[in-house]
Structures are given as C-alpha cells and as structure tokens.
C-alpha cells in the first residue's frame, strides 16, 4: 500500500512539474522585418542538449581568435585585414525549442574575436548583407570617421572600410551603433576586439567570455542569460583546463536591459585587469561587477583538480543560464587524479 501511494505521489509530481529539459510553453508568434514567421516559447529552464543540437558552438567560440590576413606595409608596420559581414535575418535555435532572429557579424552571436597587436593597422572590409542599416563601432582610439556612428552602411550589400591603428592595449567590445541601438545590440551585433601589448603577455590557456542575454519574447527584459550566448552550455559541457596552468579570460559584458552583471569564480581568486589596459592587476578577487560594455582580463591558476562553478552572483542570471563549470584536470602526466570533487 505504501509502495502504491509512493508511486502515485511520484507520478503526480512528474505530471505537475515538467522536466527541466522542456521549454516553458506559451509560444508567441513573431514576424521578422523581412516577413519570416517565427515562434518563440520565451523563458527556459536548464535545457539539456549537445553541440549537435545547437547551431552555434560556445566551446569552439571560447578559444577562437581571428588574427586576420597579415601583411607588412612599406614602413614595416603590420597590416591585418578582416572581412566582416553583417546580417539580420537569421533564425537560430539559441536553445532547444527557442528560435530567435539573431543579427550577426560573420554568422554568429557574438561575432568573431578580432585580435591585433598595439600599433598594427587594422583594416576591415565591412559588408552589410542585412536589410537594415548597420555599422561597426569599436571601443578604443581611432579617427572620428572610423567610429561607426555617423556613417550608417546600407543593407543589401552596402560596404565600408574601417581602418585604424590598434590601440590601446586591452580588451574592447565592438558593436553596431545604429538606432535604435538597444535593438541592434540585443539581437546580437557585437563582438570582442583584443589588442595585445607589443611585448606580449605570459603564455596562458586563453579564452573569451561575452556575457550576454536574449530577449526572446520582445518585452525589453532578457529571457535568459549566458556566457557566449547559449544558456547553461558550459555547465553541461565543462571547460577543460589543467592545474598549475595560467588561465586568462577576456570578459566582456554585453547584457542589455539590466544595469549590472557579474562573475564569481569558485574555489579560487583571480587577478583582474579592468579593460585590460594595464599590465599590473587592480584587484585580487573572486567577484567582479560589470556595467554595460565593461570588460577586463582575469588571470588565475587552479591548484587542486576537480569541478568548479563560475557564474553570475546576480542569482537570477545564473538560474536563467549564466553559469558554467571549469573541469580542472591534474597537470602531471602519468599521475592519476586524486579525485578532488570529481
Ligand atoms: Cu545594426
């Protein structure tokens, strides 16, 4: 009798509380500016999926740096040439069952991580294959005409060449700067621009984390949050790193609508370089708080192997997807992990 009663309770719970892998219901229909009809089911809770079910692979994006086509000018200066193509009519399954009209640079949200050394000439052939006007506005130092604000580039093949000297050293966002700005950013037209010091930085396992969110039901509130677009991805697919190895994370906050975001690391503290412009860290902490487009460089090493969370300490954000895991593996070859926390 007790067994029967237990089974009834279990099945009742399952019936009333759907599993976490299901998107919440109440789908809404949305017509894009080009007439495509999409449905979104809004907020989600901890979906289970693999890179095969999500088009954009956050693990690949994490360590993917685009150094451009490299050549030398007559005076010996390094020229780095990039081609960036904007689009605004792509429907992407940003999480299982959640289809969203992403606006992309080179097909992804975030766009490619562009990387140069201070003093290099960066030349970007910008092609707008979207339907709306778009630009590329780089944070950093450059001439007014290269600022991507007053030179909107028309859609359907419009072009513009951005050219400037890379600087200052640091990690900077780039994003479209066409009004209404909030709309262009929240749909995904942003990326990261890293300027390395001429003398370089210490060797490290380097990665990029763009903290972002998506308003999938168009009520000017984010429905979920992430590091690198796909909610919960690094929780289900922990980032593999090694003990006693320097980890360097370029962090950029691109969340709209919410005034702050933050990043807390478990079982460790990191040296933090705001904007990455100084070679001396400003903080040694396990927690930073970032406003829109604030960014910096985190550096840390793990002493003990095992599984460690990193996430927004704004708990709402972590519970809506901005959470991940570092899987710290023993660095000594041939020595078995002692299984801390594994
Ligand atoms: Cu735009």
Model confidence pLDDT, tens digit, residues 237-256: 999 999 999 999 999 999 99
pLDDT of residue 38: 52
Q: How far is the CA of 24 from the centre of ligand 1 (A)?
A: 30
Q: How far is the CA of 96 from the centre of ligand 1 (A)?
A: 26
Model confidence pLDDT, tens digit, residues 81-96: 999 999 999 998 887 7
Q: How far is the CA of 139 from the centre of ligand 1 (A)?
A: 16
| The pairing of beta strand 190-196 with beta strand 113-117 | parallel
Q: How far is the CA of 151 from the centre of ligand 1 (A)?
A: 12
pLDDT of residue 261: 97
107-111, 178-182, 263-267, 337-341 — which is least confidently predicted? 337-341
pLDDT of residue 39: 54
Q: How far is the CA of 29 from the centre of ligand 1 (A)?
A: 23
Q: How far is the CA of 304 from the centre of ligand 1 (A)?
A: 45
CA atoms of 223 and 233, how far apart (whole Å): 16
pTM, two decimal places: 0.84
Q: How far is the CA of 162 from the centre of ligand 1 (A)?
A: 16
Q: How far is the CA of 173 from the centre of ligand 1 (A)?
A: 15
Q: How far is the CA of 166 from the centre of ligand 1 (A)?
A: 23
pLDDT at residue 152 greater than cutoff 80:
yes
More confident site: 334 or 53: 53
Q: How far is the CA of 135 from the centre of ligand 1 (A)?
A: 6
Model confidence pLDDT, tens digit, residues 41-76: 555 555 555 556 677 899 999 999 999 999 999 999
pLDDT of residue 15: 40
Q: How far is the CA of 88 from the centre of ligand 1 (A)?
A: 8
Q: How far is the CA of 4 from the centre of ligand 1 (A)?
A: 59
What's the chain's average pLDDT? 87
Q: How far is the CA of 235 from the centre of ligand 1 (A)?
A: 31
Model confidence pLDDT, tens digit, residues 154-171: 999 999 999 999 999 999
pLDDT of residue 29: 57
Confidence class for position 22, pLDDT limits 50, 70, 90: very low
Model confidence pLDDT, tens digit, residues 278-315: 999 999 999 999 999 999 999 999 999 999 999 999 99
Q: How far is the CA of 64 from the centre of ligand 1 (A)?
A: 23
20-24, 57-61, 97-101, 274-278 — which is least confidently predicted? 20-24
- Widest distance between CA atoms in the chain: 88
Q: How far is the CA of 36 from the centre of ligand 1 (A)?
A: 19
Q: How far is the CA of 176 from the centre of ligand 1 (A)?
A: 5
């Amino acid at each position: 009798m007790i067994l029967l009663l237990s089974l009834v309770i279990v099945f009742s719970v399952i019936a009333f509380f759907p599993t976490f892998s299901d998107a919440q219901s109440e789908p809404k229909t949305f017509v894009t500016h080009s007439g495509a009809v999409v449905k979104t089911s809004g907020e989600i809770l901890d979906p289970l999926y693999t890179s095969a079910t999500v088009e954009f692979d956050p693990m690949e994006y994490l360590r993917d740096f685009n150094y451009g086509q490299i050549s030398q000018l007559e005076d010996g200066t390094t020229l780095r040439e990039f081609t960036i193509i904007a689009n605004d009519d792509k429907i992407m399954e940003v999480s299982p069952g959640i289809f969203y009209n992403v606006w992309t640079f080179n097909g992804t949200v975030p766009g490619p991580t562009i990387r140069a050394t201070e003093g290099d000439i960066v030349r970007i052939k910008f092609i707008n294959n979207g339907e709306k006007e778009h630009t590329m506005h780089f944070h950093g130092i450059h001439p007014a005409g290269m600022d991507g604000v007053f030179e909107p580039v028309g859609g359907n093949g419009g072009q513009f060449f951005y050219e400037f000297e890379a600087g200052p050293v640091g990690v900077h966002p780039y994003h479209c700067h066409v009004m209404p700005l909030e709309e262009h950013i929240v749909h995904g037209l942003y990326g990261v621009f890293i300027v390395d010091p001429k003398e370089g930085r210490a060797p490290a396992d380097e990665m990029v984390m763009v903290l972002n969110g998506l308003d999938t039901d168009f009520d000017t509130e984010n429905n979920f949050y992430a590091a690198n677009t796909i909610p919960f991805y690094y929780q289900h697919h922990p980032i593999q790193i090694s003990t006693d190895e320097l980890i360097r994370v370029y962090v950029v906050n691109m969340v709209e609508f919410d005034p702050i975001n933050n990043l807390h690391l478990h079982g460790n503290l990191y040296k933090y370089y705001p904007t990455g412009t100084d070679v001396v860290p400003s903080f040694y902490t396990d927690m930073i708080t970032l406003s829109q487009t604030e960014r910096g460089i985190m550096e840390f090493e793990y002493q003990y192997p095992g599984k460690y969370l990193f996430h927004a300490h704004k708990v709402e954000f972590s519970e809506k997807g901005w959470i991940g895991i570092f899987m710290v593996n023993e660095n000594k070859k041939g020595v078995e992990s002692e299984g801390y926390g594994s």
